[in-house]
């Protein structure tokens, strides 16, 4: 069984937020209004944060794209009372919207703030897709019938792409990748099997120094950052 | 001491006015809940940075009051202190009403309350490593034990009452320690994370439960023109003093350990940031200092008025304690990466009070008040009162 992971090259990231937009489009994540952003209710499955160290004129800012870290020891899986959050065999941490009660305990427990609560029914706008997110006819079964408010949402590593790709016999990590990896103009992200020593990920991880975020939490997350 | 218990008549105008007011507030609360259920939680003050709002604050507050009240009823039925017998029925009934209110509070917070039954599918659909799921067992069992306990008290089966009283006392302690563990075991939130949290919750539960019991007993007995033994109240108030001292020591230890790295910054932010007024004013001032001063004072501690003020102050202060744990606990931004996180990802959250959330919270209290006065009317909770006219109980019960 593969163990999917992601490597993000901080040297290449330009902070263009293309990954955020790609994620929103691919997964039909609602577009937030400025008001929702101010009140911190906008749903982000992927975010890009800017971290500054030092003071002018000796300041440096790092851009850190943050999808779900898909931790091996995920605190959200431990705290979910109804098994709505679970870890698949291939290591992807999933959210089952049919089971989710919306108790938000996982949001509190996640050390990376990658979980969002859907607090509003999606408005009907011409440019919004009201179909099942993403279209069922293309991607097969999706774990929730339609987007609903009152549940917690998060990044899925675009599992629907991976599952479909495996079914079609495609090479995951080269031919099939998550939307954020595909759309990155700087090719800062790569996706693949962490257990496969021949994968591009393993090559990248052995070539450069890397970090994982908040190692002190002991989450053993599967998103690696190559340092500048 | 041979006591006969009775219910109140509940036919006076005041009783009906109170019942109708509480009923109306409950309906308003229910309407607000329907609004938040249909519209989504954006009508509440919660957000992705502060996911838990007033319903959770109220829930843990009520669980505390309930557990405290039930533990204190054991004075009579477990430890055989006969002098408290006149108030023990009331204490058990109050505990049941409060836990009922707490369960309503939890369901108000759920995004999908219609799936709440999943919480009670123990070991089948539940992840039993989750403190929340374990607490499901505790709350469910607590409710059942409380009802059986009251049933046996009414049936005057002293052997069973004693056995169930011991179980109820231990279970109530577990319930509140379990609630503390929901927060104390979350490593990602420095203000929550503490092994001492379950004990802090237990101490807070007992202090606030006792204070509420004092208020309830004094006001119910006063408004129904019953006589009560002033000595009981003064002994209870000295117990309250001890509990408040224990609680403030535990909280002090908790905050002091948090003042060391790696939890230093969030702890400093709590003590000096935007929520510091709640912490210092309500939690420390109202919850610990004022009652300590009153209950130590040689003259005030001997007056019912002084004890009542101290009790009110504890009840309000413990509410502040809950608030200043839940809201700032999640509001402090998570340190994703070393350095200053720019923009709103690095900013602390703010918690606006919205009308829907406030009315919903008042509704929870109103429903409990309604249940409480209906209980007084239909159950034999109060000691028999010879020759006095029955009048209603005050509104703030529950």
Are B110 and A103 a contacting pair at CB < 8 A?
A: yes
Please report the ipTM that was assigned to this predicted complex. Answer: 0.90
Q: Which residues of B touch A100 (CB under 8 A)?
A: 111-112, 115
Eight-state DSSP code of residue A208? S
* Cα separation values, B166 from B79, B120, B173, B179, Å: 9, 25, 11, 20
Closest by Cβ to A108, choosing from B40, B133, B189: B189
Residue B217 is predicted with a pLDDT of 87
Residue A127 is predicted with a pLDDT of 58
**Confidence band of B1 (pLDDT split at 50, 70, 90):** very low
Are A81 and B110 a contacting pair at CB < 8 A?
A: no
Closest by Cβ to B40, choosing from A40, A62, A119: A119
Residue A134 is predicted with a pLDDT of 45
Q: Which residues of B touch A103 (CB under 8 A)?
A: 109-111, 132
Which whole number is the average pLDDT over B51-55? 94
Domain boundaries, chain B: 5-383
Interchain contact B39–A (C-beta under 8 A): yes
Round to whole Å and give the CA distance between B176 and B150: 20
Q: Please count the residues of chain B.
A: 398
Per the DSSP assignment, residues forming a β-bridge with B32 are: none
| CATH class of this structure's domain A4-226 | alpha beta
Using CA coordinates, name the residue in chain B closest to A53: B339
Interchain contact B160–A (C-beta under 8 A): no
Are A101 and B49 a contacting pair at CB < 8 A?
A: no
Using CA coordinates, name the residue in chain A closest to B128: A81
Contact between A19 and A155 (Cβ < 8 Å):
no
Give the residue from A81, A148, A74, A201 showing the smallest Cα distance to B187.
A74
**Confidence band of B68 (pLDDT split at 50, 70, 90):** confident
Closest by Cβ to A81, choosing from B126, B189, B339: B126
Residue A129 is predicted with a pLDDT of 54
Interchain contact B127–A (C-beta under 8 A): yes
Most A CBs within 10 Å: which of B130, B135, B342, as the mutation test of the A interface?
B130
Round to whole Å and give the CA distance between A71 and A84: 16
**pTM score, whole prediction:** 0.90
How distant is the Cα of B199 from the closest Cα of chain A, in angstroms? 21
Q: Which residues of B touch A110 (CB under 8 A)?
A: 188
Four-residue CA torsion sign, B377, B383, B386, B390: negative
Residue B10 is predicted with a pLDDT of 74
Using CA coordinates, name the residue in chain B closest to A111: B188
Q: Which residues of A touch B49 (CB under 8 A)?
A: 40, 113
Round to whole Å and give the CA distance between B326 and B64: 14
Residue B2 is predicted with a pLDDT of 57
CA B254 to chain centre: 21
How distant is the Cα of A175 from the closest Cα of chain B, in angstroms? 31
Closest by Cβ to B131, choosing from A49, A79, A152: A79
Higher pLDDT, A133 or B34: B34
Are A75 and B187 a contacting pair at CB < 8 A?
A: yes
Give the residue from B390, B380, B391 showing the smallest Cα distance to B93.
B380
Tokens of B346: 């690095």
Residue B336 is predicted with a pLDDT of 93
Per the DSSP assignment, residues forming a β-bridge with A192 are: A5
B114-129 pLDDT per residue, tens:
988 988 888 888 999 9
Most A CBs within 10 Å: which of B39, B127, B326, as the mutation test of the A interface?
B127
Contact between B353 and B184 (Cβ < 8 Å):
no
Are A109 and B188 a contacting pair at CB < 8 A?
A: yes
* Mean predicted lDDT score pLDDT of chain B: 89
Q: Please count the residues of chain A.
A: 228
Q: State which residues of chain A have pLDDT below 50.
A: 130-140, 143-145
Which whole number is the average pLDDT over B386-394? 44
Residue A142 is predicted with a pLDDT of 53
Round to whole Å and give the CA distance between B296 and A10: 61
Closest by Cβ to B112, choosing from A41, A102, A112: A102
Question: Which CATH number does B5-383 carry?
Answer: 1.20.1630.10
**Confidence band of B226 (pLDDT split at 50, 70, 90):** confident
* Cα separation values, B356 from A103, B61, B111, Å: 19, 20, 15
Residue B389 is predicted with a pLDDT of 43
Q: Which residues of A touch B262 (CB under 8 A)?
A: 216
How distant is the Cα of A53 from the closest Cα of chain B, in angstroms? 5
Higher pLDDT, A141 or B212: B212
Q: Is the pLDDT of residue B398 over 50?
A: no
Which whole number is the average pLDDT over B66-70? 87
Contacting residues for A164 by C-beta, under 8 A, at least 6 apart = A139, A140, A176
Residue B109 is predicted with a pLDDT of 92
Residue with tokens 């997350």: A221
CA angle, residues B306, B312, B313, in degrees to nearest 5: 90
Using CA coordinates, name the residue in chain B closest to A212: B337
**Confidence band of B384 (pLDDT split at 50, 70, 90):** confident
Which whole number is the average pLDDT over B231-255? 93
Cα of first residue to Cα of last residue in chain B, in angstroms, is 29
Using CA coordinates, name the residue in chain B closest to A110: B188
Using CA coordinates, name the residue in chain A closest to B337: A213
How distant is the Cα of B145 from the closest Cα of chain A, in angstroms? 23
Four-residue CA torsion sign, B267, B271, B277, B278: positive
Tokens of B394: 């005050």
* Among B residues 263-322, those touching chain A with beta carbons less than 8 Å apart: none
**Confidence band of B67 (pLDDT split at 50, 70, 90):** confident
Q: Is the pLDDT of residue B396 over 60?
A: no
Residue A193 is predicted with a pLDDT of 94
Are A75 and B188 a contacting pair at CB < 8 A?
A: yes
Round to whole Å and give the CA distance between B238 and A93: 52
Which backbone phi and psi does A40 adopt, to 5 degrees?
60, 40
Q: Which residues of B touch A120 (CB under 8 A)?
A: 39-42
* Cα separation values, B108 from A63, B132, B143, Å: 38, 16, 18
Residue with tokens 């039930």: B70
Round to whole Å and give the CA distance between A218 and A154: 20
How distant is the Cα of A97 from the closest Cα of chain B, in angstroms? 10
- The strand pair at A85-87 and A93-95 is best described as antiparallel
Tokens of A169: 């016999």
Are A100 and B112 a contacting pair at CB < 8 A?
A: yes
**Confidence band of B324 (pLDDT split at 50, 70, 90):** very high
């Amino acid at each position: 069984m593969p163990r999917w992971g992601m490597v993000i090259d901080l040297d290449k990231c330009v902070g263009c937020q293309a990954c955020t937009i790609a994620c929103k489009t691919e997964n039909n994540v609602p577009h937030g209004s400025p008001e929702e952003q101010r009140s911190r209710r906008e749903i982000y499955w992927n975010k890009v944060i800017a971290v500054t160290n030092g003071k002018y004129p000796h300041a440096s800012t790092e851009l850190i794209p943050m999808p779900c870290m898909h931790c091996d020891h995920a605190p959200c899986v431990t705290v979910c009372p109804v098994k709505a959050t679970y870890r698949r065999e291939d290591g992807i941490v999933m959210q089952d919207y049919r089971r989710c009660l919306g108790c938000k305990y996982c949001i509190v427990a996640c050390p990376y703030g990658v979980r969002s609560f859907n607090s509003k029914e999606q408005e009907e706008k011409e440019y919004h897709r009201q179909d099942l997110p993403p279209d069922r006819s293309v991607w097969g079964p999706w774990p929730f019938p339609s987007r609903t408010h009152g549940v917690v949402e998060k990044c899925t590593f675009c599992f629907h792409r991976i599952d479909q790709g495996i079914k079609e016999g495609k090479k995951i990590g080269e031919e099939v990748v998550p939307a954020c990896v595909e759309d990155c103009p700087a090719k800062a992200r790569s996706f693949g099997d962490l257990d496969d020593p021949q994968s591009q990920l393993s090559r990248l991880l052995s070539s450069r120094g890397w970090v994982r975020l908040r190692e002190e939490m002991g989450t053993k997350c599967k998103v690696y950052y190559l340092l500048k | 001491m041979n006591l006969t218990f009775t219910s109140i008549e509940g036919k006076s105008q005041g009783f009906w006015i109170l019942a109708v007011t509480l009923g109306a507030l409950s309906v308003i609360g229910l309407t607000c809940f329907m609004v938040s259920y249909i519209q989504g939680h954006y009508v509440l003050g919660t957000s992705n940075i502060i996911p838990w709002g007033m319903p959770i604050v109220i829930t843990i507050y009520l669980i505390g009051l309930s557990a405290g009240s039930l533990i204190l009823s054991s004075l009579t039925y477990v430890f055989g202190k006969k002098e408290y017998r006149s108030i023990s029925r009331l204490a058990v009934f109050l505990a049941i009403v409060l836990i009922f209110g707490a369960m309503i509070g939890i369901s108000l917070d759920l995004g999908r309350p219609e799936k709440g039954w999943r919480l009670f599918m123990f070991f089948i659909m539940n992840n039993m490593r989750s403190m929340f799921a374990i607490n499901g067992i505790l709350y469910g069992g607590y409710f059942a034990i409380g009802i059986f306990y009251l049933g046996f008290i009414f049936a005057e089966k002293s052997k069973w009452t004693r056995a169930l009283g011991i179980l109820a006392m231990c279970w109530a302690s577990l319930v509140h320690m379990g609630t503390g563990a929901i927060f104390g075991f979350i490593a990602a939130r420095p203000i929550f994370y503490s092994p001492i949290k379950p004990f802090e919750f237990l101490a807070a539960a007992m202090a606030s439960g006792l204070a509420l019991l004092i208020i309830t007993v004094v006001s119910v007995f006063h408004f129904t023109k019953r006589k009560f033994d002033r000595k009981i109240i003064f002994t209870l108030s000295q117990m309250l003093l001890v509990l408040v001292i224990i609680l403030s020591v535990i909280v002090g230890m908790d905050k002091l350990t948090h003042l060391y790295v790696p939890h230093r910054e969030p702890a400093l932010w709590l003590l000096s940031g935007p929520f510091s007024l709640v912490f210092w004013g309500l939690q420390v001032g109202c919850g610990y200092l004022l009652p300590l001063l009153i209950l130590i004072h040689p003259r005030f501690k001997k007056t019912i008025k002084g004890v009542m003020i101290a009790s009110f102050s504890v009840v309000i202060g413990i509410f502040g304690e809950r608030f200043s744990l839940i809201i700032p606990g999640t509001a402090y931004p998570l340190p994703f990466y070393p350095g200053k996180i720019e923009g709103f990802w690095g900013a602390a959250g703010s918690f606006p009070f919205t009308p829907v959330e406030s009315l919903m919270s008042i509704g929870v209290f109103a429903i409990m008040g309604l249940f409480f006065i209906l209980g007084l009317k239909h159950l034999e909770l109060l000691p028999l009162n010879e020759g006095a006219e029955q009048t209603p109980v005050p509104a703030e019960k529950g």
